[in-house]
Amino acid sequence: MKIDNMDKTEQRVYILNGITLLPHYTLPCYVAPGFSNTTPTKLWTVNQLLDEGAVKSTAFLWPRHTLASGGWHG
Protein backbone atom coordinates (compact mmCIF):
# COMPACT_ATOMS: atom_id res chain seq x y z
CA MET A 1 0.00 0.00 0.00
CA LYS A 2 1.27 3.46 -0.85
CA ILE A 3 1.74 5.69 2.16
CA ASP A 4 -0.48 8.37 0.56
CA ASN A 5 -3.42 5.97 0.75
CA MET A 6 -3.20 5.33 4.50
CA ASP A 7 -6.28 6.36 6.43
CA LYS A 8 -5.84 9.65 8.21
CA THR A 9 -7.77 10.73 11.28
CA GLU A 10 -8.79 14.19 12.40
CA GLN A 11 -6.65 15.18 15.36
CA ARG A 12 -6.13 18.21 17.58
CA VAL A 13 -3.22 20.45 16.61
CA TYR A 14 -2.20 23.88 17.87
CA ILE A 15 -0.98 26.82 15.82
CA LEU A 16 1.60 29.05 17.48
CA ASN A 17 3.16 31.98 15.60
CA GLY A 18 2.12 30.43 12.29
CA ILE A 19 3.66 27.03 13.09
CA THR A 20 1.39 24.00 13.43
CA LEU A 21 2.42 21.85 16.38
CA LEU A 22 1.53 18.19 16.09
CA PRO A 23 0.78 15.53 18.71
CA HIS A 24 3.83 13.46 19.60
CA TYR A 25 3.54 9.81 18.59
CA THR A 26 3.86 8.38 22.11
CA LEU A 27 4.14 11.20 24.66
CA PRO A 28 1.34 13.45 25.96
CA CYS A 29 2.73 16.60 24.34
CA TYR A 30 3.01 18.49 21.06
CA VAL A 31 6.05 19.08 18.84
CA ALA A 32 6.99 21.23 15.87
CA PRO A 33 7.26 19.57 12.44
CA GLY A 34 10.62 17.88 11.92
CA PHE A 35 10.96 16.64 15.50
CA SER A 36 12.98 13.42 15.77
CA ASN A 37 15.42 11.70 18.08
CA THR A 38 18.29 13.25 16.15
CA THR A 39 16.76 16.74 15.85
CA PRO A 40 14.76 17.23 19.06
CA THR A 41 12.88 20.45 19.66
CA LYS A 42 10.83 21.68 22.58
CA LEU A 43 8.07 19.41 23.87
CA TRP A 44 4.95 21.49 24.54
CA THR A 45 2.10 20.69 26.91
CA VAL A 46 -1.39 21.90 26.07
CA ASN A 47 -1.26 24.40 28.93
CA GLN A 48 2.08 25.79 27.74
CA LEU A 49 0.71 26.24 24.23
CA LEU A 50 -2.43 27.98 25.44
CA ASP A 51 -0.41 30.21 27.80
CA GLU A 52 1.70 31.30 24.80
CA GLY A 53 -1.41 32.15 22.79
CA ALA A 54 -1.62 29.09 20.54
CA VAL A 55 -4.89 28.52 18.70
CA LYS A 56 -6.68 25.16 18.74
CA SER A 57 -7.25 23.60 15.36
CA THR A 58 -7.54 20.18 13.74
CA ALA A 59 -5.70 18.41 10.96
CA PHE A 60 -5.99 15.06 9.25
CA LEU A 61 -2.90 13.09 10.27
CA TRP A 62 -1.74 9.52 10.13
CA PRO A 63 -2.87 7.69 13.28
CA ARG A 64 -0.67 8.14 16.32
CA HIS A 65 0.39 5.11 18.36
CA THR A 66 -1.49 6.43 21.38
CA LEU A 67 -4.67 6.94 19.37
CA ALA A 68 -4.62 3.35 18.18
CA SER A 69 -4.25 2.12 21.75
CA GLY A 70 -6.76 4.55 23.32
CA GLY A 71 -4.02 6.85 24.57
CA TRP A 72 -3.96 10.24 26.23
CA HIS A 73 -5.58 12.36 23.53
CA GLY A 74 -7.99 9.83 22.02
32-47 pLDDT, tens per residue? Answer: 888 777 777 889 999 9
Residue 54 pLDDT > 50, yes or no?
A: yes
Residue 6 pLDDT > 90, yes or no?
A: no
Residue 30 pLDDT > 60, yes or no?
A: yes
Domain boundaries defined on the chain: 3-66
Res 72: pLDDT: 45
The rounded distance, in Å, linking the Cα atoms of 31 and 22 is: 5
Average pLDDT of the chain to the nearest whole number: 81
The rounded distance, in Å, linking the Cα atoms of 72 and 55 is: 20
Residue of 69 and 29 predicted with greater confidence: 29
Q: How many CB atoms lie within 10 A of CB 54?
A: 20
